[in-house]
Structure 1
Amino acid sequence: MDLSEAAFGALVKAAVHDPNPSFNRGFIEPALNAFGHSRVQSALLGYLRTGTDLERAGAARAWYWSALPLPMPLVRAKSPGFTGQAGSDDGSAVVAEWNEAALHEFVNNEHLDVRRCILPGLSLRKSAYPPELHDLVEAAVSTARSHPDEYIRHRVEHQVGD
């Protein structure tokens, strides 16, 4: 299956707008296989940074699937000069950007669904961030521990313990 350039945006948008955190995999997986991890993750990062609150929550739900291995060898991008599958590109810089942006978003965005969707994938260990973000990690933990939402309070304890 050859996916056009237009399919990229449609797949990522569908994944972000799908409210089911399991079904959105059906959009992310072909996008990863055809266009690569870095490109898909960069698009999700864009939604996290500039989308509506619903899109930010959707990007966090879709992010969960964005590190999948590429099991669909017959799905590829259709473009002139393209000779094969996207391959497993190194998206470590995008992942670091996501982690920092997600940390900021969790602390600064009071939208309940955004916080609920970001928290499970958010590292709450200072060692996962550069020293200049350690205070923000503490703020995230404090925010979650004192949050009025029971799920957020339970989830933070699951992630960091007592």
Structure 2
Amino acid sequence: MKIKTLEGSLTTNEDGTDARQVFMALPTRTDDDRRSFQQCLAAVFDVLGIEVGPEPAPGDQRRWNQLARVALRKACGNGLTLSDASFDVLIKAAVHDPDPSFNRHFVEPALNAFGRRRVRSALLEYLRTGTDGERAGAARAWYWSALPLRLSQVRAETSSTESPAAPDDPSALMREWRQAALRKFVSNEHLDVRRCILPVLPLWRSAYPPELHDLVDAAVSIARSHPDGYIRHRVEQQVRD
């Protein structure tokens, strides 16, 4: 039995123990625009009305970011009612967050309050029409859109047509994402875009319609011959899996 994770996959050995296949860590973004993320973070706390603390001292922005994430996590744990305006600022913060692990703190409340379909539709739109930085960020955030809905205390202020707790039927939206991501990986040479899309990109033909099978082969070929070590390492693990 195999369970895929952000850094690798867990495989059950014949004796029942777990063997971890470890992937290289996703490298730091080449166009890390932290100023944009700070603006997104400020918008989240302004719209949600959450107090974080004093403004960061010069050169101590990273520490304040950690405090902000803790404040958001505590607010979710205590119960949080999100206005419709909260959705856009949470997704934008998730897309602009330079950290591929901490961005889940913005995805998860949006997921639980507004539903998987709305979150994934928004990320798909960023992938299709955003800047290269936003496309990379959308791919990193997409990973967390598969999280189970465990924050029952986080709710939307107004009811929507989709119940967040309803069983997810990902087939149509997942197909759209896979096909759009495959096309972007092949056509877009931006390093961050390719690095971030690859971990959430199936590389087997059966995941796509016949007319895209040549693109799957092209994606594998591009990744295997790419000058970036992370991409070359990652593709071999995924193709082997």
Higher helix share: 1
Counterpart CA distance in 1 for 2:169 and 2:227 is 39
Residue in structure 1 matching 2:165, options 77, 81, 87: 87
Are 2:132 and 1:53 aligned?
Answer: yes
Measured on the aligned residues, the alpha-carbon RMSD in Å equals: 1.7
Higher strand share: 2
Contact 2:110–2:119 (8 Å) recurs in 1 = yes
Give matches, 1:105-120, under 5 Å: 105-120=184-199
TM-score by length of 1: 0.94
Contact 2:95–2:141 (8 Å) recurs in 1 = yes
Counterpart CA distance in 2 for 1:111 and 1:155 is 17
Give matches, 1:123-134, under 5 Å: 123-134=202-213
Contact 1:40–1:66 (8 Å) recurs in 2 = yes
Q: Specify the alignment match of 2:120 in structure 1.
A: 41
Q: Specify the alignment match of 2:97 in structure 1.
A: 18
1:99-145: per-residue Cα shift (whole Å, max 9, x none)?
00000000000000000000011100001111111000000001111
Give the gaps of 5 or more residues in structure 2. Answer: 1-79
Counterpart CA distance in 1 for 2:193 and 2:239 is 20
Counterpart CA distance in 2 for 1:67 and 1:125 is 20
Q: 1:123 aligns to what SS in structure 2?
A: coil
Give the gaps of 5 or more residues in structure 1. Answer: none
Bigger-Rg structure (1/2) = 2
Counterpart CA distance in 1 for 2:160 and 2:234 is 44
Q: 2:149 aligns to what SS in structure 1?
A: coil
Q: Indicate the percent of aligned positions where both proteins have the same amino acid.
A: 71
